[in-house]
Amino acid sequence: MKRDFQQIEWDAATIEDCRQLVRLAVREDLERQQDWTTLATVAPERRGAADIVSRQAGYVAGIQATAVVVDEMGGRLTFEAFAADGDRIEGRTTLGRLSGSVRDLLTCERIVLNILGRMMGVATLASLYVEKVAGTNARIYDTRKTTPGWRRLEKFAVRCGGAHNHRLGLYDAVLIKDNHLAQFAAAGESQSATAARAVQQARKFLAELGDIEPLPSGGLIEIEVDSLEQLAAVLPEHPEIVLLDNMSLEQLRSGVALRNSVAPEVELEASGGVNLETVRGIAETGVDRISVGGITHAAKSLDVGLDWHA
């Protein structure tokens, strides 16, 4: 695979984002007070265990977040994982077990299940897109259409489902979009000429930066075009990726043929109008990448629950 955006791992940065979300979730549930129902009904010395169970088939994502929740909340609990992130599971699969203080278990229950359900829903939807394009050269990518504060966790979940991460943030790479071109255009200049000049300017800018401000994706340049004329203009400038926005299948096929003849090293990304019904046809045009905002913004949480041991 050619140069790409950084791919999210379950690393120190992801764990720190998870902690921040847990802190907010704790405030939502406890507002710096207590779980009064549990204190009123459960003896402080009571100990027990409960299994975390996925009621639906799908892909595991976020299992490591459970330990972060327990640690962040100071729970007197032990967590044992029975599944790993990226595992494909059937319904009624036990993902792990929490044991220890029943009071602490009840207090952290909803936070654990919310995080797991959300991340597994994203991973499972991502896997459906990946399955749809199997056998083609196209790779499925997410976008920045993520839940505020959840980006690293949702993008990690995308990877658990077998798809790829587009740029993590604005700091990650240069992506020249139509609104950038609208501000950059010179009076009387054609859209095609503006697009080509924007790539030239971006390349010059990054060269002048040198190693002073290293970009995580290594100075990767992508530009969005919405016509074959713009594509023809930017290919000789050799951006790493050209995003073909809201093009028909015929236009995508023509764009791939043009790319192959002019600059075969440039990767083409299709975006716009992508869903589970259309993605296969888009992949078969020969594009290298397909970005799908719906993987994160339209994913439904998987049904994950807690089953208590007798």
237 phi and psi angles, rounded to 5 deg: -85, -10
Of 85, 222, 240, 245, catalytic: 245
Catalytic residue among 23, 76, 110, 300: 110
The one-letter amino acid code at 147 reads T
145 is known as an active-site residue: yes
72, 109, 224, 226: which one is catalytic? 224
Structure token digits, residue 26: 């704790």
Q: What is the helix (H) or strand (E) element at residue 304, kind and residue range?
A: strand 304-308
Collect all residues with Cβ–Cβ distance below 8 Å to 115 and sequence separation of at least 6. Answer: 18, 21, 22, 25, 62, 65, 66, 69, 153
Active site residue 177: yes
204 tagged catalytic: no
Name the token pair of 94.
């036990």
Other Cβ atoms within 10 Å of 193 Cβ, number: 14
- Residue 280's H or E segment, with its range, is helix 279-283
Single out the catalytic residue among 97, 144, 145, 280.
Answer: 145
Length of the chain: 310
Nearest CA to 122 out of 59, 56, 67, 54 is that of 59
Beta pairing class for 93-101 and 77-81 = antiparallel
CA–CA separation, 286 and 127 (whole Å): 20
Catalytic-labelled residue, pool 46, 92, 177, 204: 177
Hey, which residues are catalytic here? 110, 145, 177, 224, 245
